[in-house]
Amino acid sequence: MTRPTVLSSSKPGESLEAVLDRLRLVSPRLKQEYGAFTLWLVNPEALTTKRMRPVFLVELEKPLTLIQFIGLEQAIGRAVGKKVLLVQRNQYIEKHGEQAAHRALLISG
């Protein structure tokens, strides 16, 4: 596996749209490396603050190994410039309910 290109890390004061644009830019490469997936962001405000860890939901077209899943999580973190938490969407729904998942922001589908 090759590491996806990282454009830059989050900068203080960087807008949410700038971070999301950067993630959308690397999404095709991540999909090529890890297979097709749909990605949502639960807490967009976490991308522009230091204290919060962004939570991303993923729906995979094909299963990944644990190592691949962690690799995808780390690649998303590199793209947005901070450590993230990646959760499978169906597991998130089981714990938090369908309504919580529907409030998440679609990033890439």
pLDDT digits (tens, 9 = 90+) for 78-100: 999 999 999 999 999 999 989 88
Sequence-distant (6+) residues with CB within 8 A of 19 are 10, 47, 48, 80, 81
Q: Is residue 33 part of a domain?
A: yes
| Domain membership flag for residue 9 | no
How far apart are alpha carbons 51 and 39 in whole angstroms?
A: 22
**Residue 2 forms part of a structural domain:** no
Could you tell me what percent of the chain has a pLDDT over 70? 88
In a domain, 8, yes or no: no
CATH number of the domain bearing residue 88: 3.30.460.10
In a domain, 4, yes or no: no
Domain with 66, as residue range(s), is: 16-108
**Is the pTM of the predicted complex or chain greater than 0.85?**
no
pLDDT confidence band for 3 (50 / 70 / 90):
very low
Taking each helix axis as running N to C, give the angle between helix 16-34 and helix 66-80, from 0 to 180 degrees, rounded to the nearest 10.
Answer: 150
Non-local (6+) Cβ contacts of 72 within 8 A are 30, 34, 37, 58, 64, 86
Specify if 1 maps to a domain: no
The total number of structural domains in the chain stands at 1
Q: Report if residue 7 sits inside a domain.
A: no
| Residue 42 located in a structural domain | yes
* pLDDT band, very low/low/confident/very high, at 12 (cuts 50, 70, 90): low
The CA distance from 6 to 101, in Å, is 28
Q: How far apart are CA 75 and CA 4, in angstroms?
A: 7
